[in-house]
Structure 1
Amino acid sequence: MRPARRPATSAAFVGASWLCLFIGVLAFLAGLWNAEKMLQSEKGFYLAVMLLGLYAAVSLQKVVRDRLEGIPVSGLYYGLSWVALGAALALLATGLWNASLAPSEKGFYGMAFVLSLFAAVAVQKNVRDKAAEAAEAGGGPDTRPPGD
């Protein structure tokens, strides 16, 4: 018996996800660019934390979905994905806590970061859903594990 077919991902949700990702990342980067009180090393730190967070969020979304779909994922990679996301959140929180920024600036960076992570997960989900829809229709890459 085949599982029930999922409803197609709407173009509005896909567009909104991409828009939120661009808004979050561009706002974060614009904030770093215009920050006058921050040293270059601080700006580099926040940029590296943003990149780590985006990668970790997408990676975690992928391994969680792989497990739900029965695709083998090693426990080590699954755990590392959680640790990487937790580390990115902890590094940002610690960096902002110790930064000599106004509370409104700290809140701005925190919200732009969280928006970007959430949007990255939504974009990854949409990409995966579209690939699955194309595979079901017979017109795209097969995302099923070998042997199915």
Structure 2
Amino acid sequence: MSNNDEVVLETEKSKKPKVQIERKEGEPTAAFKGATWAALLIGVAAYLIGLFNATMELNEKGYYFAVLVFGLYSAVSLQKAVRDREEGIPVTNIYYGISWLALVIAISLMGIGLYNAGSIILSEKGFYGMAFVLSLFAAITVQKNIRDTQRARERD
């Protein structure tokens, strides 16, 4: 046996077996969790970077920032209310209705703001709209993943 063969054998022997983390039933995969977090971070970061680099007035930037924060909060709140109802956890009709109303208002404010923004070109309007929608969807999915993971781990 040559020296090269010995090195190969020693390396193969020294390889440690991969530790496989056991996933509970109903828990999302690590890849799915990572993808949703990445989508949320990319959506919010793109929106904020675009806002930072925009040539609009500071009060306009504040408006679009507030609409993003309001939209993210209302989307997560609605997801929680819907999920709670589905699982038999009591949710008052007023909270459920306010959650829906808040999300509709946030989306409307974004749409109306972009429609009326004369200083923003059409491609920028599309950029803000898509980053906003991506962020909302990702926030809902991240919250769902967190809840599914917690629930799966509590079953054991």
Paired residue for 2:147? 128
- 1:30 correspondence with 2:27: no
Task: Tell me which amino acid in the other structure corresponds to 2:81.
Answer: V
Superposed CA deviations along residues 16-42 of structure 1, whole A, max 9, x for unmatched, are 000000000000000000001x10000
Q: CA deviation at 1:6?
A: 5.3
Superposed CA deviations along residues 84-118 of structure 1, whole A, max 9, x for unmatched, are 00000000000000002110000000000000000
Match of 2:101 among 48, 62, 83: 83
Gaps of 5+ in 2: 1-23
Q: CA deviation at 1:134?
A: 1.1
- 1:113 correspondence with 2:114: no
Paired residue for 2:113? 95
8 Å Cα contact 2:26/2:149 also seen in 1: no
Task: Tell me which amino acid in the other structure corresponds to 1:17.
Answer: T
Superposed CA deviations along residues 41-83 of structure 1, whole A, max 9, x for unmatched, are 0000000000000000000000000000000000000000000
Provide the aligned C-alpha RMSD in A.
1.1
TM-score by length of 2: 0.83
Q: What number of residue pairs does the alignment pair up?
A: 132
Match of 1:42 among 36, 57, 60: 60
Q: 4+ residue runs of structure 1 moved beyond 6 angstroms?
A: none
Gaps of 5+ in 1: 138-148
TM-score by length of 1: 0.87
In the alignment, the residues of structure 2 paired with residue 13 and residue 86 of structure 1 have an alpha-carbon distance, to the nearest angstrom, of: 27
Paired residue for 1:69? 87
